[in-house]
A and B are shown apart, each in its own frame.
Chain A
């Protein structure tokens, strides 16, 4: 098990080197110059050259790539081009906010998604199941941006229950977390329903019922545990999605997270800052996948890593 984890962690290194190279190449190929954009319409030619030289942007792509990797091995992510700030500092400023929002949305998604999925599976094609299906379809197909604005109008403007955005108290996280969780609730709910229905057809469920085990125990202990693997896989994928999808939610609700930092970096062609943020996202994805894989062996004793 430990060997498996170490091997997986070591594999992330080439992944990350590749990710950085792709980011760098993309920024290089996209028209638009970071220094010209930074100094704006009003910069002179000399000023642009001056800054470009000071930032080392006049060097070829490969040199810059190797330089970046070299510094990275020393734990130095460089300084952002526009803000001239340590990238590690920029990220540590906003990372907790993203983590908080993603986790809150994930908890809501799992609680609501799994519960509604179970109820749908217990009585398939009932009124509840039908309603759940319609709500899920709605949650999946409505753009986050629009749902967010509707939430603001209803809960912040009409009802005056919650703030329109920003951070500070528990109240501030409610709207963004709920908005962000909607598509995931739908996915997890549908997955739980179908996976559980599948399991409920198994012989051992019939056996359990035949020997007189209560329905509650049958569902929660016998069936659900065996239905969990696809649900966990789906949740892991959703967690990654939530982090990426948070960009729009962060914008609508003025949530100071990593997504907005990344978008700013893209528009500024600030490849150093962008690499830093992509690096964090990539690492998070790798870690989530690893955790999901490890959890399989706990859920199903037949799965083992040697």
Chain B
């Protein structure tokens, strides 16, 4: 690592920490932690992890096996906190629509699971790549879950409030970037490691700024409950609509066949 890159890394680390502290204070002052407890916990865990990493590397250096092991261990804790925060965002966005939420969380888990399995299968089978591969798989699953959430909201025309959208976008962009960054790291391993850190911190800074902007106003603790229809309405009308849509498609199919024979 060159002295310039090291300096840049330390500066970025300080900026990330400062913005993180600002966001945490903003969550505390506006009492938004009540609406987003898991997200607030994630920010705390991130700050603690960042500070620990700084002292760890200062004491043992970047290339020491002990600091590497502890750093990846902390990364696992951060990842767990992020998964909780993402779950919270998903629940915020859709949980008040009970029926759709029951369907959505299964779809989100399935998408995340498929991506995780696929990433594990596609990854290189080497010990030195194990942790970045696992990290990449988890990041991609988080992105897939969030994209599925937003796609669900769009499909069902459910209005997701701007804060939830911004939080989801921040998590998704950061996860996508880290996944891509880890893939490049895997390919150019040692030549790329310093730049990898810088880019990761930059991506995190971008997400932090997006979240800070989204949380600049106090957040309501819980969204108002939707008034739901009686259970029988869906059971009565849903199959009728599907039946008619199927008939309509068959009719269109016939149209196509008629054409094919005519031509």
> Do A and B share a complex?
no
A residues contacting B by CB (< 8 A) are none
